[in-house]
Structure 1
Amino acid sequence: MSLTIQQLIEFYQLLPHPEGGYYKETYRSSESIPSDCLSERFNGKRNCSTAIYFLLAENSFSAFHRIQSDECWHFYAGDAVDIHVLHINGNYELIKLGSNIEMGEQFQAIVPAGAWFASKTNGQFSFVGCTVSPGFDFADFELAKASELAEQFPDQLALIQHFCRT
């Protein structure tokens, strides 16, 4: 039996994500890190770790955004996904997350804290997971504005225009 997008949404009770795609939080550690033990980029305590399922369907994308923690992506099912990363130092990186190692895909990859990133499936859908540490908090989430991002990364203008909603 092959999975469908609708089966995944219904079975895992996925919800629309503000950046695009669908998600479901599957884990939030019961322990937290006090704010005085975190770097200044955090404005309060954070759970030690969080995890989500994330689904991207064809004809949609996850818009450029950034968070204040490292994010580990895990590939589960469907088609490979391209993750476009604009690093703090100005470098661009394309991560291919998937199961075809002969095509340079990897099952797991890290997007470092503070990097802007966007993603898109290479087929009908990509079903992945994301683990964040310190744990994800929407206070740490920022959607990119194309005009501001283009000023920081002028060499990536076409990519920015394609993967920004504002």
Structure 2
Amino acid sequence: MSWTEKAIEQLGLIPHPEGGYFKETDRATSTISAPASYSQSPPTRNLTTTIFYLLDSRSPKGHFHTNKSPTTHFHHRGRGIYVLIPKDGSRDVIEYEVGQESGRLQWIVTGEYWKASYLPEGEEGCLISEVVAPGFEFDDHEFMSKEELVRLVGEEKAKKYEWLLRKEEQKE
């Protein structure tokens, strides 16, 4: 059994709608009112939520998405590539490797970015934890459309990243 299969079993991970696998491990009992720019359903947010998140060879990519809340990521094992596209189109696409070899063991992605992740060639998996504050709610989450990808990076560059869109979002 591979280390990723063991992790899925031992941590109780299930398929994530973004791709990969996850398990929520904490949802703070303290709450705050939903910020004005967030969905008001529900009207409050937990202060924080925490998950394990894993990519492996069976589900090697996390599709482009955005969350309203900043997400702090903590690396545990393996390597991954993150792709960030500023939602306002003000900067170019940002790509970086996470893991022991790159030295990037902790990183934050704010709600100002579309985010995707994938395994580099030959990598078995990448296990991280994510802490979201204010806490994660699916009402504050959105998948990137092909139209949005093209608008932000142009037709040519969009071809390079289109494979990171969810199949439903790849259609125009």
Is TM (by shorter chain) over 0.5?
Answer: yes
Native 8 Å contact 1:50 1:135 kept in 2: yes
Secondary structure at the aligned position of 2:38 is classed as coil
Counterparts of 1:50-129 in structure 2 under 5 Å? 50-58=49-57, 60-77=60-77, 79-90=78-89, 91=91, 92-100=93-101, 104-122=102-120, 123-129=123-129
Structure 2's unaligned 5+ residue stretches are none
1:87-116, CA deviations, whole angstroms, 9 ceiling, x for partnerless residues?
A: 13422211321112xxx4310011111310
The Cα of 1:20 is off from its aligned counterpart by: 0.3
Q: Which moved more, 1:135-144 or 1:41-50?
A: 41-50
Distance 1:112 1:156 in 2: 23
Residue number in structure 2 paired with 1:158: 159
Q: CA RMSD in A?
A: 1.8
The Cα of 1:151 is off from its aligned counterpart by: 1.7
Structure 1 pair 27/159, CA: closer, same or farther in 2 (3 Å)? farther
Counterparts of 1:121-140 in structure 2 under 5 Å? 121-122=119-120, 123-140=123-140
Counterparts of 1:18-37 in structure 2 under 5 Å? 18-35=17-34
The Cα of 1:17 is off from its aligned counterpart by: 0.3
Distance 2:150 2:71 in 1: 23
Native 8 Å contact 1:47 1:135 kept in 2: yes
Identity %: 26
Counterparts of 1:38-53 in structure 2 under 5 Å? 38-43=35-40, 44-53=43-52
Distance 2:32 2:117 in 1: 29
Residue number in structure 2 paired with 1:10: 9
- Give TM-score, length-normalised by structure 1: 0.88
Q: Which moved more, 1:21-30 or 1:3-12?
A: 3-12
Runs of 4+ in 1 over 6 A off after TM superposition: none
- One-letter amino acid of the structure 1 residue matched with residue 80 of structure 2: V
Structure 1's unaligned 5+ residue stretches are none
The Cα of 1:54 is off from its aligned counterpart by: 0.3
- Give TM-score, length-normalised by structure 2: 0.85
Distance 2:100 2:16 in 1: 24
Count of residues in Structure 1 that have an aligned counterpart in Structure 2: 159
